[in-house]
Amino acid sequence: MSSGKVSTDGGQSLGQNPFAQLSGAGLPPAPANAPVPPASSRNAHQAERNRGRVDVRRETGGRGGKTVTVVDGFTGIGLPEKETLAKKMRAACGCGGTVKDGAIEIQGDQRETIARILREAGFRPVMAGG
């Protein structure tokens, strides 16, 4: 190892199982007939129900009089999830749209349809503007 390279062999094992002591900790046994919810629904429903407020507004400025619906104010989600949401919105509205400067723009006045999709995704849409 004098060449200055970092070893990638995985290192040494722990030498002991850190969970070995749990079996003798005096914990009561689990009930045999307790239903276990699937992993996909556990806590996912509660976590997605409060993903924050987003503004849904209608704009016409700078677009030659054409109306677009803009969804803005996302916190904590990245570009891939915005792209997925935009794709759902485009499909539901039957129109075009894009993600530009962190906001989702959908062609036409589609505020009600977009608000429904956002509620299903766990966001709290707030209508802003005319």
pLDDT of 89-119, one tens digit each? 999 999 999 999 999 999 999 999 999 999 9
Residue 70 phi, psi dihedral angles, 5° rounding: -110, 130
Burial 27-50 (b: 16+ CB within 10 A, else e): eeeeeeeeeeeeeeeeeeeeeeee
Both structure tokens of 91:
């499909």
State the pLDDT confidence band at 83, using cuts at 50, 70 and 90.
very high
Mean pLDDT of 20-36: 66
Cβ atoms of 99 and 27 within 8 Å: the answer is no
Predicted TM-score (pTM) above 0.95: no
Mean pLDDT of the 6-23 span: 67
Retrieve residue 4's tokens. Answer: 């200055």
